[in-house]
């Protein structure tokens, strides 16, 4: 018999998945408190303990999660939402099983007031400002084929951005689609629909197919509510009579604004605005110029992105051949160490991507930057479509490292022998200990030893969560255990406070490591090039990139095990991040193609094509590249035609030179790259001597 709480059968005496999940872990996050629940799931406020960053986690209801088709639909909608990135949409960041195996959606936490709790009626100019922001979000969603179908005053939230400016956030995109899929044929036949009754469009009540105009109707209801303080039709099914004109209920509402809202509330979709842009423009035009919302200011500060720095091939000398498991590619480019982006239009060349240093956080192995920076190839693709950048960057960053100088040893499960462990997520309550062996059971009590600044404190810890090998592979993190201090005494609290405050250890620091000092000196002296960082040729293949990167990281890891002064340890960590950046930039064809294109590395681009880079994948990047160079494409075609004529005449050396010139102007033309590469292989020794194109050939 199904449980009365969760509607799912589970063993007697076992924990019910419907009970509150407060206090449980979702990856590196702690579910702090329940924010609310709806028809689809329960939403919790989650916190990343080391940094204090907060997120929202939506947990699918157990009775829905018990149906495989619902789990599949939940994850499918989550993947679609990952592509929807807009300043007025609460971002979907990640979807994966969480506590009890229930599907969880990790989202941006919109900390503010829903429209339903605002003091109404609002001044018309204020209501228009909020509606325009909501329509901008809906417009972006509709451009990607996403229709909300359940917009209401409860899932529109008024927040404040970093500058204190009011910002609307739209929540729950995709929820209606998942719930609609849960309805049975009998329920549909009885007229059951998904949505908030007072905001549902007439065609939704009728069970007809809906499009984006249903969302415009819902926003019309929201606008009517904001300016009058009441709903146009009450809380039930839409009536046949037209609602009272808003200005008849609130004399401060201009007649033009009343007309705009009533058009959005038209019974027939074809009588409403054709799209969100038209609705938004009508709102902007219905107020006098003096009363229109002031344009939002530009970001307060913009900072140039620094080029990727490099290190000599000393990092990878005597590098062993990597095993296949070591060569797994890592995708993405870290947001804070990207190369200069390809300029998209002449007016954008002097406008760098804004960054806010120090506000990114590692979640499930990915860095979630607050400013929405994105890998190069995604930025180009989004820019070519006129869309905002994606917020999530996939990188390898399992947890917040332990404070420099803090050493941790933990007792093994069997022998209780203290061994050094790689610690992370260190707080005053506990820490994460990476553990490659057999994991201890939950609630096991382990001895531990923490050392910092010449002081050592022993304590006991309780195991509160396990990260298994399977989870580690899934999340791209280390396997291990999260532990909490059993009875932290004052000496332990003082040591942790000193370490977490970043205080320098008292007494004399260790002497600088001479070998590392020489390596860091050479690293600082070289030019900016990830190829040089890995000691790789411009035509290096992808397996060799990964082998060299792994060897370099292993060597740096060996340095990390040494006793180092704080300055050297920080410099070593910076160097490790640059090596990781080089691996991500050169180890994935699309990333590498974007990097090589702006540097004219024809040999590297040919490697990307041979690795399977398709025309479809690279075309958005190519269009953005050429848009910044208006005359390049025509000139490139002329040169390529000349090269073809020379090839027909069997003048292969001259033909290859012409093709190379053409590709210097249009380096992401995959079909040309294939032809050029094939001809070079046929010609063998007649290829041009220089495989890297002259930057002077670029327009």
Q: Looking at the annotation, which residues are catalytic?
A: 150
How many of the other CB atoms lie within 10 Å of CB of 345?
12
User: What is the token pair recorded at 648?
Assistant: 């027909």
> Reduced to 3 states, what is the DSSP secondary structure of residue 405?
coil
Q: How far apart are CA 596 and CA 156, in angstroms?
A: 43
C-beta separation of 400 from 50 below 8 A: yes
Instruction: Kindly state the tokens that stand for 156.
Output: 């529109």
Transcribe 281-349 into DSSP letters: HHHHHSS-GGGSPPPPPPPS---PPPPPP---GGGGTTPPPPPGGGG-------TTSPPPPPP-SGGGT
Question: Tokens standing for 32?
Answer: 């702090």
Burial of 669 (0-12, 13-18, 19+ CB in 10 A): buried
**Contact assessment for residue 444 and residue 413, using Cβ atoms and an 8 Å cutoff:** yes
Hey, what are 134's tokens? 């909501």
The whole-angstrom separation of Cα 411 and Cα 419 is: 6
42 within 8 A of 418, measured Cβ to Cβ: no
- Would you say the C-alpha torsion 364, 370, 372, 377 has a positive or negative sign? negative
Q: Please tell me whether residue 74 adopts helix, strand or coil conformation.
A: helix
In order, the DSSP letters of 427-457 are -SSEEEEE--SPPPPTT-EEEEEEEETTEEE
Give the span between the Cα atoms of 402 and 637, in whole angstroms. Answer: 55
CB half-sphere exposure, 445, CA atoms < 13 A: 5
Check: CB of residue 459 under 8 Å from CB of residue 379: no
Q: β-pairing, 166-170 with 361-363? A: unpaired
Between CA 458 and CA 199 the distance in angstroms is 60
Got the DSSP string for 619-688? HHHHHHHHHTSTTHHHHHHHHHHHHHHHHHTT-HHHHHHHHHHHHHHSTT-HHHHHHHHHHHHHHGGGS-
CA angle 580, 363, 111 (to 5 degrees): 135
């Amino acid at each position: 018999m199904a449980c009365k709480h969760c509607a799912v059968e589970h063993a007697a005496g076992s924990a019910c998945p419907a009970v509150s999940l407060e206090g449980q872990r979702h990856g590196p996050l702690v579910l702090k408190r329940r924010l609310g629940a709806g028809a689809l799931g329960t939403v919790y406020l989650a916190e990343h303990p080391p940094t204090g960053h907060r997120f929202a986690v939506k947990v699918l209801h157990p009775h829905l999660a018990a149906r495989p088709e619902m789990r599949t639909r939940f994850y499918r909608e989550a993947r679609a939402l990952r592509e929807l990135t807009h300043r007025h949409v609460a971002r979907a960041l990640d979807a994966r099983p969480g506590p009890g195996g229930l599907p969880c959606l990790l989202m941006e936490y919109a900390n503010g007031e829903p429209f339903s709790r605002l003091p109404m009626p609002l001044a018309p100019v204020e209501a228009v400002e909020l509606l325009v922001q909501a329509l901008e979000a809906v417009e972006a969603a509709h451009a990607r084929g996403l229709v909300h179908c359940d917009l209401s005053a409860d899932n529109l939230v008024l927040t404040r951005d970093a500058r204190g400016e009011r910002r609307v956030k739209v929540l729950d995109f995709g929820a209606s689609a998942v719930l609609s899929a849960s309805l049975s044929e009998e329920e549909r036949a009885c007229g059951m629909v998904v949505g908030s009754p007072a905001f549902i469009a007439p065609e939704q009540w009728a069970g007809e197919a809906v499009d984006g105009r249903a969302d415009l109707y819902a926003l019309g209801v929201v606008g009517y509510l904001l300016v009058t303080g009441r709903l146009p039709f009450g809380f039930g099914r839409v009536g046949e009579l037209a609602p009272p004109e808003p200005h008849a209920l609130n004399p401060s509402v201009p007649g033009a604004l009343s007309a705009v809202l009533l058009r959005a509330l038209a019974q027939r979709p074809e009588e409403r605005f054709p799209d969100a842009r038209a609705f938004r423009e009508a709102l902007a035009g219905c107020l006098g110029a003096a009363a229109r919302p002031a344009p939002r200011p530009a970001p307060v500060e913009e900072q140039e992105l620094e080029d990727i720095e490099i290190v000599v091939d000393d990092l990878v000398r005597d590098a062993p051949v990597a095993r296949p498991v070591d060569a797994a590619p890592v995708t993405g480019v870290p947001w804070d160490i990207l190369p200069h982006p390809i300029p998209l239009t002449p007016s954008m060349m002097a406008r760098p991507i804004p960054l806010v240093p120090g506000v990114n956080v590692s979640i499930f192995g990915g860095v979630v930057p607050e400013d929405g920076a994105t890998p190069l190839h995604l930025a180009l693709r989004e820019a070519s479509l006129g869309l905002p950048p994606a917020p999530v960057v996939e990188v390898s960053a399992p947890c917040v490292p332990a404070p420099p100088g803090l050493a941790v040893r933990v007792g093994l499960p069997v022998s209780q022998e203290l061994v050094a462990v790689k610690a992370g997520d260190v707080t005053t309550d506990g820490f994460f200990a990476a553990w490659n062996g057999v994991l201890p059971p939950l609630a096991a009590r382990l001895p531990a030893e923490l050392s910092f600044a010449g002081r050592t404190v022993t304590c006991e810890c309780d195991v509160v969560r396990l990260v298994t090998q399977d989870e580690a592979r899934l999340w791209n993190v280390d396997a291990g255990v999260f532990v909490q201090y059993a009875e932290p005494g004052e000496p332990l609290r003082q040591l942790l406070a000193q370490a977490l405050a970043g205080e320098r250890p008292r007494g004399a620091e260790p002497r600088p490591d001479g070998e590392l000092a020489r390596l860091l000196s050479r690293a600082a002296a070289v030019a900016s090039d990830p190829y040089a960082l890995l000691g790789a040729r411009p035509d290096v293949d992808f397996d060799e990139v990964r082998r060299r990167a792994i060897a370099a990281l292993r060597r740096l890891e060996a340095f990390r095990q040494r006793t180092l002064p704080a300055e050297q340890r920080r410099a070593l960590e910076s160097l490790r991040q640059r090596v990781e950046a080089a691996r991500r930039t050169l180890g994935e064809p699309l990333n590498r193609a974007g990097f090589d294109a702006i540097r004219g590395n024809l040999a590297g681009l040919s490697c990307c094509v041979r690795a399977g880079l398709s025309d479809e994948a690279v075309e958005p990047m190519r269009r953005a590249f050429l848009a910044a160079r208006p005359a390049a494409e025509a000139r490139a075609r002329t040169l390529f035609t000349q090269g073809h004529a020379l090839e027909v005449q069997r003048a292969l050396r001259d033909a290859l030179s012409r093709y190379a010139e053409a590709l210097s102007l249009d380096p992401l033309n995959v079909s040309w790259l294939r032809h050029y590469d094939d001809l070079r292989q046929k010609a063998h020794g007649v290829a041009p001597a220089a495989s890297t194109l002259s930057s002077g050939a670029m327009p």
